[in-house]
Every structure is written in C-alpha cells, then in structure tokens.
Amino acid sequence: HEARDIVRHAVGAGEQDAVLFTGHGTDDALRTLLRHLDLPGRPMIVFVGPFEHHANLRPWREHGTK
C-alpha cells in the first residue's frame, strides 16, 4: 500500500479516491477501468475521434460498446 499512498499524496487524492496501477499501456489501463466500473449488461456508446490509436479502441470493442 506504500506506493498507493505515495501516489495519493502526490496528486492530492483522499482516502475516498482510487489509485489504480494498470500495467502496460492504454489497453491494460482501459481494461482495468472497465473491470472496476463493472457495468453489467448496460449498452454503452463511446465517442472517439478519427485519429484515435487502435489501443484506445480495442478494449471498448471487446467490452461490447458501440
């Protein structure tokens, strides 16, 4: 928990805020976010720009978003 406490202090986060370590790159970060949001059976629409990197698109598509 020491690393989380250091990050929490560095960004001014409180105990109610979450500090997530997401692994490598955008894919892992988005997959971690989606797992923690836990939005079961709710259809989502995500708007992205025409120049988005594929690493930002793949996790959303795998999650079933449109």
pLDDT the model gives residue 13: 94
pTM for this entry: 0.55
The token duo for 51 is 């120049």
Domain boundaries, the chain: 2-62
Cβ neighbours around 59 below 10 Å, total? 20
pLDDT the model gives residue 41: 67
pLDDT the model gives residue 43: 73
Pairwise CA distance, residues 64 & 5, whole Å = 34
Q: What is the pLDDT along the chain (66 residues), one digit of tens a residue?
A: 799 999 999 999 988 998 888 878 888 888 888 888 777 666 778 888 889 888 888 888 888 787
pLDDT the model gives residue 6: 94
Check the CA dihedral 31-16-47-41 and report its sign.
positive
